[in-house]
Amino acid sequence: MTKKKMKLGLSIRYMGYHVGSWRHPDVPADGSSLFRSFLNVVHTAEKAKLDMVFLADGIGVRLDDKPKGSMSRSRHNVELEPLTLLSALAPLTHNIGLVATASTTYNEPYHVARKYGSLDQISGGRAAWNVVTSWSDQEAWNFSMSRQLDYDTRYERAHEFVDVVTGLWDSWDEDAFILDKQSGIFYDEKKMHVLGHVGKHFSVRGPLNVRRSPQGRPILVQAGVSEQGQQIAADYCDMVFMAKNDLKSAQDYYASVKDRLEAVGRKRADLLMVLGLTPIVGRTREEAQEKYEQLESLIDPVVGLSMLYRSFGDLSHLPLDGPVPKPDLDKVGLKSSAQMYYDLAQKQNLTIRQLYKKIGMAQEHKTVVGTAADVVDEMESWFEQGAADGFNITPTHLPHGIDDFVALVLPELRKRGRFREDYEGRTFRENLGLPVPPSRYDRASNSAEARLAG
């Protein structure tokens, strides 16, 4: 019997999720500005038949310098813009899905629909958009705003934004273009659709000036854990990127998102949930532990505290080996992280130093230290117990984090029949085994309900 296979991606943030990754002796210190360092790891991921490469994003440089001295020690400064980078990677890859983050807070839906639509054409149907809202004043200040939008407005805007983008992607039926050189007819008027969206945040007429996606529409990814984020996922998305450290809360979240699907007319299998996972793997447990300790030693305390700043404020007046104080959730920028970090500290009884070391290792992602068998045991356990449909690998440092995963963990996963030997399809959607969502104009003509609603 063929076992159910996992989905696997490579998630990239600078040269790794570890806050001091650039200091690792094996990492190019300026790698996040170098195209070739990204090309290198993406080629590794594609050769290994991973489903996707996933690029996170932020739209600004944090200038708090809290605690003092942390800023000039942080790699959170310069990088390549994700959509530009993925576009450059597109013609140099052939099968791997290309996921770029773009914010719904400081963009226009027409630009987003158009750029991802174009990337999808260029890549032959491998484009994906990770839908996020932007949560910091630091970013707002780069976009002529004095402060960020409040949480509810951000998510309300995000929901409408995604609705507009998916509508624009339905502008042209697949067979709209007649291209008859003799008669001079370029397209069939009946197969072009004018969106005519008028909403609270946007008015967008359309149509989009990009033809229909080779995969029906680009893949949509979402990562927000809030009620509103989960609803966007259920209404529109193909994939959810989860950051969970304990099985129970992952299972609850997994079920909570999947349970919403039936109400919107979708199947549970139509949305994939992938968990962020940082394996620190050795040929022996001792070797893995040594790698872990080397990485821990690269976390400067002042940078560690700066990572807690947005969730807890400045903690530098407190003893590093004392308890983690409760955050004021009404005041912090990144509510979900603050809650997660505090819960983690409570559950594992962590000091401030222990907490920042944990977060500094791989941000909020689950870390497993051990042999390939240890890592795969843990992956299978979560996979079989309804906590994840797959994993988005969030390596501490690159390229070694992905090299190790491919050399050590993948063979074990394949031995157990848990990962593909080769790509099954042509597009990202086909490789994910997901259905093509019907055009909203097909739905409208096939459904009396939609006709009435329209």
Q: Which of residues 46-65 bind its own copies (CB under 8 A)?
A: 58-61, 63
Who's near 318: CB < 8 A, 6+ residues apart?
A: 325, 352
Segment near its own copies (CB under 8 A); pick from 89-97, 276-284, 306-314, 356-364:
89-97
Residues 349-408 that bind its own copies (CB under 8 A): none
Instruction: Identify the residue among 94, 175, 185, 267 touching its own copies (CB under 8 A).
Output: 185
Q: How many residues bind its own copies (CB under 8 A)?
A: 79
Residues 103-142 that bind its own copies (CB under 8 A): 106-108, 110-111, 114-115, 117-119, 121-122, 141-142
Segment near its own copies (CB under 8 A); pick from 199-207, 265-273, 282-290, 331-339:
199-207
- CB of 35 or CB of 151, closer to its own copies: 35
352 and 325 Cβ atoms separated by less than 8 Å: no
**Strand spans (E) along 162-224:** 177-180, 185-187, 197-198, 203-204, 219-222
Who's near 157: CB < 8 A, 6+ residues apart?
A: 104, 105, 133, 149, 201
Instruction: Identify the residue among 4, 35, 329, 445 touching its own copies (CB under 8 A).
Output: 35
- CB of 32 or CB of 245, closer to its own copies: 32
Residue 306 three-state SS? helix
Give Dmax over CA atoms of the chain in angstroms. Answer: 80
Residue 184 binds its own copies (CB under 8 A): yes
Residue 23 binds its own copies (CB under 8 A): yes
Instruction: Identify the residue among 42, 45, 48, 83 touching its own copies (CB under 8 A).
Output: 83
Write down the least CB distance from residue 442 to its own copies, Å.
19
Task: Pick the closest to residue 242 from 272, 201, 197, 268 (CA basis).
Answer: 272
Instruction: Identify the residue among 46, 51, 79, 364 touching its own copies (CB under 8 A).
Output: 79
Residue 406 one-letter amino acid: V
Can you say whether residue 433 is alpha, beta or left, with left for phi > 0 and alpha for psi between -120 and 50 degrees? left
Residue 280 three-state SS? strand
- CB of 111 or CB of 347, closer to its own copies: 111
Write down the least CB distance from residue 340 to its own copies, Å.
25
| DSSP of 340-364 | HHHHHHHHHT-BHHHHHHHHHHHTB
Write down the least CB distance from residue 100 to its own copies, Å.
11
- CB of 11 or CB of 213, closer to its own copies: 213
Residue 273 binds its own copies (CB under 8 A): no
Cα separation values, 187 from 191, 207, 211, 303, 358, Å:
8, 13, 11, 57, 57
Instruction: Identify the residue among 45, 55, 56, 71 touching its own copies (CB under 8 A).
Output: 71
- CB of 91 or CB of 417, closer to its own copies: 91
